[in-house]
Structure 1
């Protein structure tokens, strides 16, 4: 069985590749967007000793941000500053982001597998900080590391509870111009096609709608992408209950057993 993953392969180790290959699936990655690190603003902040001392909590919602930290931020810091940064509490969206943060040296990562969406993570942050008896008015602002294109669920929820959030862009994305051609080279009848995000999928989805007889099956990594597909008139055969490789694999296996 072939699985086509519409995503950039995660640097160093991609859990989706490991999980599916170990279960007998052929895996193919089709990157749809190009990422460019923009670490300058973050580096300026971190190199301000007073700011780093005040900073308590960081919010990370994407593996792309972790790649920027790993490749373009940490190597440029002196050892003392890097150690201070890695000691901060980091709230992460999704298990893959949590695991990646831990792998590059962060010692206190929260959320992750228990926070598959930004909305859930924001609720977890509010609950966690209030349980620590940290009044919002006196709490240092949270540092949220984001991509240039992002949703504002996390800062809105935190701000509504009185917490201040500083957003810093760590990467930019652009759609690649040959997504459909590269997709067509690896997809085959009865393949599973997994969408992780709406970005960069327009041409591919239009082509799939034109050729429904190929019996290609679509899986969505979560409800946000499912809604995007529904708005396009497409109903995925599978929606992963959690945004991680094991949940996705099990959902696909369950669908195959039913059919």
Structure 2
């Protein structure tokens, strides 16, 4: 059997399991995770989320008059939206640290919208422990755009608007990071939608993201360790534009090629793969560097197929 190939994954290892770790360990690779970003939870805003629950903002009033128009009878929020693991982690940490003293029946109408299976699994654990009766929807969506269109149909079925009632449709609370796309709010509140189909989305930032100060040093140490061990081939998988400059600087590639040679593929031992076209194009436009591989599918299998095709050439 040929020697195992080190593959440096520039991401935080997902917990409790990571599909990249599982996949590459089962293949002829040595996966190693090097976190690029650190996430800092906004405790003040998370406490505000807790206060909304405690004040009954998510509670379906059993005696609500459907034609009433008083604050006492209007349900403020019908659900929450999660499109990242970090948002779920922040919400879970807040509950574990501050508690969420609720009547189990108070969340029976709560909808938790999510964009994929990994986030759905995390939400399921959280729901079972703290939000019994809440419904999780959207695990198969895959993207924020798909989820938004699914939500329009699903939420409007649960809360149909009618000219015969003055009760407004409850809003949705979207727990987000400091940097995020706005496709979901734009889609749900689009001016092109009939008024009775629009869904109000209120965003609250629960975490901030920044490049780790130690990333460049950690990455350099990992590369040197595998080079010193005599590995003839090392792969680096880049998952986002964050950390690209430090990565290229350590490897002496792109604008930093003069520091460590000319970056010729025939002479290099370290090769670069991107998880998709966004990061590939960023490397092209910002650093005039062409990644060796761009995965056709953003998955462990997609990365492995790209690497195998490249090495076969």
- Give me the TM-score of the superposition, normalised by structure 1: 0.81
| CA RMSD in angstroms, aligned pairs only | 3.0
C-alpha distance after superposition, 1:56-98 (max 9, x if no partner): 2211111111111222225533453577558732222233222
Tell me the residue number matched to 1:10: 14
Matches within 5 A, 1:162-181: 162-181=198-217
Contact 1:219 1:240 in 2 (8 A): no
- Is residue 144 from structure 1 mapped to residue 187 from structure 2 by the alignment? no
1:245 corresponding residue in structure 2:
none
Find the aligned partners of 2:205 and 2:108 in 1 and give their Cα distance. Answer: 19
Q: Greater share of helix residues, 1 or 2?
A: 1
Q: Which 10-residue stretch deviates more, 33-42 or 203-212?
A: 203-212
**Equivalent runs, 1:118-197 vs 2, <5 Å:** 118-132=144-158, 134-135=160-161, 138-160=168-190, 161=193, 162-187=198-223, 188=226, 190-197=233-240
**Equivalent position to 1:202, from 226, 245, 248:** 245
Question: Larger deviation: 57-66 or 233-242?
Answer: 233-242
Please give the alpha-carbon distance, in whole angstroms, between the structure 2 residues aligned to 1:48 and 1:157.
29
Pairing 1:110–2:145 present = no
1:219 aligns with 2:226: no
Rg bigger for which structure?
A: 2
SS in 1 for 2:123: helix
CA distance, structure 2, for counterparts of residue 66 and residue 3 of structure 1: 28
Corresponding residue SS for 2:189 = helix
The number of equivalent residue pairs is 253
Structure 1 spans left out of the alignment, 5+ residues: 243-247
Q: Residue 43 of structure 1 corresponds to which residue in structure 2? A: 50
Match of residue 229 from structure 1: 283
> Structure 2, unaligned stretches of length 5 or more?
61-74, 129-133, 227-231, 258-262
Does 1:97 pair with 2:97?
Answer: no
Instruction: Report the CA distance between 1:9 and its aligned residue.
Output: 2.3
